[in-house]
């Protein structure tokens, strides 16, 4: 997809996936914080597995962004900075209005930064892609 976007003369931006969950949280703390847990993990006992899955996804996003020379927006860092991350989420992965505002700002910042960088370099579609 990144290659198709680039060949159309645009620049892709990819983003790391945030989650409010921590691997050391148990089912009681998850419920206490009002976070829904994925239906495919029963009872919240395997929260560490889910957090590891999100971390593996984010490592892949970072690697692909690096290999394709594509900007990576670290939404995970923006939304997971502290234990106060939970007010940004409805459940284990979906953000609420407050979380979406943070995401919109992060993406807008990345778009502006990318556009400014591209306007300073010429010609368009200049990067060496593999």
- Residue 105 exposed, middle or buried by CB count within 10 Å (0-12, 13-18, 19+): exposed
Contact 26, 47 (CB under 8 A): yes
Mean pLDDT in runs of 10 for the chain (130 residues)? Answer: 89 91 80 70 69 93 94 89 70 87 94 80 48
Residue ranges per structural domain of the chain: 2-120
29: preceding bond cis by omega (within 30 degrees): no
Residue 55: name the closest of 102, 94, 106, 21 by CA: 21
Number of helices (H), then strands (E), belonging to the chain: the values are: 5, 2
Name the pTM for this structure: 0.76
């Amino acid at each position: 997809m990144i290659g198709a976007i680039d060949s159309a003369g645009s620049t892709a931006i990819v983003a790391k996936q945030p989650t409010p969950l921590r691997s050391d949280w148990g089912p009681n703390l998850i419920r206490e914080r009002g976070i829904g847990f994925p239906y495919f993990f029963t009872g919240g006992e395997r929260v560490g597995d889910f957090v590891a899955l999100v971390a593996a996804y984010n490592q892949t996003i970072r690697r692909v962004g690096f290999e394709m020379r594509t900007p990576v927006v670290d939404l995970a860092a923006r939304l997971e900075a502290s234990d106060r991350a939970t007010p940004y989420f409805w459940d284990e992965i979906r953000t609420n209005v407050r979380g979406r505002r943070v995401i919109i700002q992060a993406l807008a910042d990345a778009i502006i930064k990318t556009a400014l960088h591209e306007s300073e370099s010429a010609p368009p579609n200049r990067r060496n892609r593999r």
